[in-house]
Structure 1
Amino acid sequence: MEMTVYWSVLIPLVILCSLLSYHCTHGKLQIRRVDSPIEVPPGHNTTLPCLFHGYEASSLVLSIVGVRWNLRTLEEKEKEVYLFNGGNRTQYRPGSHIPDSGLIGGDGSLYISNIQPSDEGEYTCSVYVTPEKAIRKVTMKVSAVPTCTVSDSRLKMHPNTERSVTCYVSGFYPETVRIRWVKHGNDSLNKAKMDNRTYTSIPVQNHDGTYIVRSLVSVRPMSTEEDGDVYSCVITHRSLRDPLTCDVTLSVKPIKDCEIKKCAHHDLPKHHRGQWDSTGITVVITYMVLLIIAGIYIYKNVLLRVSEITKNGSDTILVCRISGFRPQNLVIKLYWQEDSGTRTTRHEVDSWRLRDNGEKDELLHTKDSADLYLDPVVMSDTWLHFHCVCLIHLSQHISDEKWIILEVHHKVLRLKICKLKKMLIHQ
């Protein structure tokens, strides 16, 4: 009787200890919490983490493991991204991958290459280790930081004249961006908004999915007291912690020649003023004729200038400025050039033309245009000249050391103008 009671108590204790031992060893399948959202620029690669635990590593085999990645887009659409099921793989999104070595160690993280705006949304990682299941969500935002440049960083003017300055904001994603102009006087406390004298265009999407927008401000100094004032183009975007600014410094100088002539005229005796008036008319007519002749000469003998290729505050955007040309007919060609020993290979990747009527004509976009392409913006500086800010967009996937060659063709040029820049771009 005593033996029966002994075993009736001992057996349940053994079973309970076995269950406790199992749960202490195995636990419950769980996925480690991750910081979200993850922000990735367009065209970059990323890894979405999914680290799971709560299983016995020594007994884990891939035949009992399953990992499914799904995406809910910003438009609330459900998309399958990747599936690993007992060793079988299904790649719904090209460029996605889960390594086998990671799965054995409890790593179901998803690698995605060449991130595009369509990849943005909420990702769900579902892990199955038979018979258990665990789920974790992570949000990915596609964000590209804008860069800015201005048509004139130092604006030289006379009082009571008016000119406009353009701020070019490029390479940003998503599309929503705020641009405002602020005027800073010589006194640092003197600050004024310029909302009623500005115009901002609608953002235009580039080949890589990022956007470019232009904002214009009209500047009209009333006196030389505004000399040294600064006009700031202030950009606010989701990818920026602090607003981005591009400054234009105003230089206001008096028109001294006119004042001297006016004083000289009033200082003359009355009997000489009639002679001065007739002489003055002759001088004015002669001056106007000379202006017309000079204008025709300048129109037919354009001095076209091309700046060096420089960085625009970003490793993926270069800038070259072309100025002083008329008529508008302009052709820009872009090449990669690679030197390997005694052999030089040149490959045309983009070509762009502006017709006489001002219509842009994209002549060529090869399969490499996603990695390197032109984005020129043309404007009129004066009634005689045009100015072109030529943005060159680069992909950070390019890892080889090569030459960038920009060719400028115009009918006033006897020979084409070439600008070269050697780049070493890291992934």
Structure 2
Amino acid sequence: MPVPGGCGHGTEGGRPHVVGLRAVLLVPVLLLRLMLLTAGVLEVEMAGRTQMVLLNENATILCKIPGFPHLDINSMGITWFRKAQVSETEIKLFEFFGDHKVAFRHGANVSPWRLKRGDASLQLPGVQLWEAGEYRCELVVTPQKAQGRVWLEVVAHPVSSLFLEQAMVKDNEDKHILCKSSGFYPEDISITWKRWTQKDPQFQEISEDIITGPTIKNEDGTFNITSYLRLKPSLEDNVTIYQCVVWHVSSLMCQSFNFTPILIESEKKTDSWIVWLCIGLIFTVLILVILFLYFFLWKRKSRTIH
């Protein structure tokens, strides 16, 4: 006898077959997802949009492969390109495919040992200014392919010094302190002056009596610059400290140099005073000796005559 609601039971009776079919279909899907998660999607990580390196230093341009801690370098390839600042043409710098390894730039290299561990960074010895530009890392791990770009900026630290003008000047004439920076790149640089006295416990910026010359380009492409601070005689103070502050993009912090020219001048005057005192004493002693000999000989001659 048909049971009321038998269609429902019949449907429920057929459900295990449907569930079983779905379970069978889900197995390869799950296996495929597991394989994708295990293999990972090939991509490269660079050092941001811009990477800064120092002139004449050995540089490592970063290009890493996350998610691939162990790579078979026999089934992969890496190629590095450079595009100059004023050109749209890419130049091949280095390529590696299995047993094929060529450096088109002298000294360019990618370490095979690091490459096995997912590091395809390019090593460049003695980087020069003209090597700035866009670098592209192209990676192939069969059957996937990925690439990354980074702008390489080559900079040079300024070498700075602070000293008193060596020209001979009189006491009532103005003197100059020179702050010179040389060998820096790029051209933009900032030089400011500050002064410290006992009346003010903090350095105060100087805005007058400053002459900063133009930047002068060297043969190697770096630049030099000199800034002058005029010292007025009325401002001279034995405890005044002058400071030159240099800022350049190649340095994380400003460079500051202190100088106290008045103390040195006082020492020079003290040394001169001692020298003249010694000369005066010697001259006085000579006069006394001459007078003594003169009177001694004169008295002796007078006695002889009598």
TM-score range, shorter chain: 0.5 to 0.7
Aligned to 2:10: none
**Structure 1: 5+ residue stretches without partners:** 257-427
Equivalent of residue 65 in structure 1, options 76, 82, 97:
76
- The total of aligned residue pairs comes to 249
Q: Secondary structure, in 3 states, of the residue corresponding to 2:233? A: coil
Q: Is the 8 A contact 2:164 2:176 kept in 1?
A: no
Identity fraction in percent: 23
Question: In 1, Cα distance between the equivalents of 2:26 and 2:66?
Answer: 28
Aligned to 1:164: 176
How far off is 1:48 after superposition? 1.7
Distance 1:12 1:61, change over 3 A: farther
Normalising by structure 1, report the TM-score: 0.50
Question: In 1, Cα distance between the equivalents of 2:208 and 2:250?
Answer: 24
How far off is 1:135 after superposition? 2.1
Cα root mean square deviation, aligned: 3.5
Distance 1:5 1:199, change over 3 A: closer
Question: In 2, Cα distance between the equivalents of 1:242 and 1:170?
Answer: 17
Question: In 2, Cα distance between the equivalents of 1:154 and 1:247?
Answer: 18
Structure with greater helix share of residues: 2
Aligned to 2:255: 244
Q: Is the 8 A contact 2:54 2:154 kept in 1?
A: yes
The correspondence of residues 353-372 of structure 1 with structure 2, limited to 5 A, is none
Question: In 1, Cα distance between the equivalents of 2:209 and 2:146?
Answer: 56
The correspondence of residues 320-339 of structure 1 with structure 2, limited to 5 A, is none
Aligned to 1:51: 64
How far off is 1:218 after superposition? 2.7
Q: Is the 8 A contact 1:98 1:110 kept in 2?
A: yes
Equivalent of residue 128 in structure 1, options 140, 146, 150:
140
Normalising by structure 2, report the TM-score: 0.67
Question: In 2, Cα distance between the equivalents of 1:25 and 1:246?
Answer: 57
Question: In 2, Cα distance between the equivalents of 1:20 and 1:65?
Answer: 23
Q: Deviations over 1:328-381 (max 9, x none)?
A: xxxxxxxxxxxxxxxxxxxxxxxxxxxxxxxxxxxxxxxxxxxxxxxxxxxxxx
Aligned to 1:102: 114
| Structure 2 residue identity aligned to 1:45 | N
Q: Is the 8 A contact 1:160 1:223 kept in 2?
A: no
Question: In 2, Cα distance between the equivalents of 1:102 and 1:192?
Answer: 51
How far off is 1:223 after superposition? 5.8
Aligned to 1:111: 123
Aligned to 1:17: 30
Question: In 2, Cα distance between the equivalents of 1:56 and 1:7?
Answer: 38
Question: In 2, Cα distance between the equivalents of 1:221 and 1:181?
Answer: 18
Equivalent of residue 40 in structure 1, options 53, 61, 69:
53
Structure whose alpha-carbon radius of gyration is higher: 2
Question: In 2, Cα distance between the equivalents of 1:128 and 1:190?
Answer: 58
Equivalent of residue 235 in structure 1, options 224, 236, 246:
246
How far off is 1:97 after superposition? 0.6
Question: In 1, Cα distance between the equivalents of 2:111 and 2:27?
Answer: 41
Structure with more relative contact order (C-alpha pairs < 8 Å, separation 6 or more): 2
Q: Secondary structure, in 3 states, of the residue corresponding to 2:86? A: coil
Distance 1:185 1:56, change over 3 A: closer
Distance 1:131 1:247, change over 3 A: same
**Structure 2: 5+ residue stretches without partners:** 1-13, 270-306
Aligned to 2:155: 143
Q: Is the 8 A contact 2:69 2:116 kept in 1?
A: no
Question: In 1, Cα distance between the equivalents of 2:167 and 2:253?
Answer: 26
Is 1:215 matched up with 2:227? Answer: yes
Q: Secondary structure, in 3 states, of the residue corresponding to 1:71? A: strand
Aligned to 1:415: none
Q: Deviations over 1:178-225 (max 9, x none)?
A: 223334444235735245441323233254x5433222233222265x
Q: Is the 8 A contact 2:210 2:227 kept in 1?
A: no
Question: In 1, Cα distance between the equivalents of 2:214 and 2:37?
Answer: 63
The correspondence of residues 289-368 of structure 1 with structure 2, limited to 5 A, is none
Question: In 2, Cα distance between the equivalents of 1:206 and 1:135?
Answer: 36
Distance 1:185 1:43, change over 3 A: same
Question: In 2, Cα distance between the equivalents of 1:241 and 1:5?
Answer: 67
